[in-house]
Amino acid sequence: MKRRKTRMIKAGPLTFGSEAPIIIQSMNSTDTRDVAASLQQIQQLQQAGCQLTRLAVPDFTAAKALAEIVRYSPLPIVADIHFDYKLALAAIDAKVCKIRINPGNMKLNGGLKEVVQAAKANHIAIRVGVNAGSLKPAILQKYGGPTAEALVESAQEAIAMMEEENFTDIVLSLKSSFPLLTIQAYRLMAKVCDYPFHIGVTEAGTLREGTIRSAVGIGTLLAEGIGDTLRVSLTADPVEEVKAAESILKALGLSEGLTFISCPTCGRTEVDLINVANEVEKRLESIKVNAKVAVMGCKVNGPGEARGADYGIAGGKGNYLLFKKGVTIKKIPEAGAIDALIDLILKDKASEEAD
């Protein structure tokens, strides 16, 4: 797929835009005032593959703690600012790499101009984070509700103010909790500007439902080449957001890593495939492997899929065939299938790393 052409924006060590890889981000669920807990969660996010995390800055105690977090964080930090422009100034002092402002709950003149000037002087990017749930009353009235056009106008107002100040280190988001509205808003915005997009479906829901809603919204946009950084918003541990983001990118061939394929099982299945597939997936999670692995139930599609994968097993009656890159390696009794598959992957990984 062809990425939407954007200008390139730098934020700390990261670059956002069509010439750079798509960045996975998340948001801490910790209280920013608790530095130790926040840093611990940032560590977990980094280990899961997160590249950038955002922290809420609800007051000046949090802004002060943010400086400490930035100093020790293994990940670049974004400050999430609402209502009070002075908190944005404090976050800039804390040396975050980006701040997120919500044009729906901040006045676009006066204080915010000061924020833009400070961001410019400190080489800090700003995300204009429009949210369907917090649009200004005047915009809501004009469009009769939070429509795609209303989201775009809210973003455009903020961009116009920043451009007047000669500030263009802008990343944009236009989120709604409805995937279709989110998709429409980004499509519309893509026609009128070339700033990089942070994409996501906001308040998407709990782990299962939220992952699906996000995959629909984010996946549709990415398939159209729209999106330069993504956050999956889940009512769950933020590590799950990172895992979901990775899966979405992998499903579209936009990132490397493990691609796991398993069949849904049917009346032909003669092995305990569901448990085997779950166990293989779980064990592969801890092995950082860049491969396509297939766990199939029978010889109908099994050997075909398994042979098409880098590694695979296909079930028979009480046994499995083990495949590697299209070649049948051997027949293994059902009880030893998982170990045989994992051992084969580990052995190859070890010899690749030794090369």
Least Å distance between CB 336 and ligand SF4?
A: 20
90-to-62, 87, 95, 319 alpha-carbon distances in Å:
10, 5, 9, 63
300 is a contact residue toward ligand SF4 (CB under 6 A): yes
301 is a contact residue toward ligand SF4 (CB under 6 A): yes
Residue 234 φ/ψ region, left for φ over 0, alpha for ψ in the -120 to 50 degree band, beta for the rest: beta
Q: In whole angstroms, what is the distance from residue 355 CA to residue 352 CA?
A: 5
298 is a contact residue toward ligand SF4 (CB under 6 A): yes
- Determine contact, residues 209/234, Cβ cutoff 8 Å: no
Chain residue at closest Cβ approach to ligand SF4: 297
Q: What does the CA dihedral 202, 206, 212, 214 come to, rounded to 10 degrees?
A: 20
268 is a contact residue toward ligand SF4 (CB under 6 A): yes
Tell me: is residue 298 an annotated ligand-binding position: yes
134 is a contact residue toward ligand SF4 (CB under 6 A): no
* Closer of 43 and 259 to ligand SF4 (Cβ): 259
Binding-site member from 157, 265, 274, 325 for ligand SF4 (CB under 6 A): 265
Q: In whole angstroms, what is the distance from residue 324 CA to residue 308 CA?
A: 9
**Other Cβ atoms closer than 10 A to 288:** 10
Binding-site member from 259, 269, 279, 292 for ligand SF4 (CB under 6 A): 269
Burial of 222 (0-12, 13-18, 19+ CB in 10 A): buried
161 is a contact residue toward ligand SF4 (CB under 6 A): no
* Closer of 238 and 297 to ligand SF4 (Cβ): 297
Tell me: is residue 97 an annotated ligand-binding position: no
Alpha-helix runs per DSSP H in 177-272: 179-192, 207-223, 238-251
318 is a contact residue toward ligand SF4 (CB under 6 A): no
Least Å distance between CB 95 and ligand SF4?
A: 54
145-to-11, 106, 191, 295, 299 alpha-carbon distances in Å:
33, 19, 22, 48, 54
# residues contacting ligand SF4 (CB under 6 A): 12
CA triplet 335, 339, 345: central angle to 5 degrees? 145
* Closer of 259 and 269 to ligand SF4 (Cβ): 269
302 is a contact residue toward ligand SF4 (CB under 6 A): yes
* Closer of 85 and 320 to ligand SF4 (Cβ): 320
107 is a contact residue toward ligand SF4 (CB under 6 A): no
Binding-site member from 264, 327, 351, 353 for ligand SF4 (CB under 6 A): 264
* Closer of 222 and 263 to ligand SF4 (Cβ): 263
Least Å distance between CB 244 and ligand SF4?
A: 25
* Closer of 299 and 324 to ligand SF4 (Cβ): 299
Q: Is residue 233 classed as helix, strand or coil in its secondary structure?
A: coil
Burial of 52 (0-12, 13-18, 19+ CB in 10 A): buried
Q: In whole angstroms, what is the distance from residue 293 CA to residue 348 CA?
A: 13
138-to-25, 166, 224 alpha-carbon distances in Å:
32, 26, 32
* Closer of 151 and 271 to ligand SF4 (Cβ): 271
Q: In whole angstroms, what is the distance from residue 168 CA to residue 40 CA?
A: 33
Taking contact as CB under 6 A, which single stretch among the options 131-139, 184-192, 286-294, 300-308 is the one that binds ligand SF4? 300-308
Tell me: is residue 163 an annotated ligand-binding position: no
Contacts of 35 (CB under 8 A, 6+ apart): 65, 68, 69, 72
Tell me: is residue 305 an annotated ligand-binding position: yes
Q: Which residues are annotated as a binding site for [4Fe-4S] cluster?
A: 263, 266, 298, 305
Which parts of this chain interact with ligand SF4 (CB under 6 A)? Answer: 263-266, 268-269, 296-298, 300-302
Q: Which residues are annotated as a binding site?
A: 263, 266, 298, 305
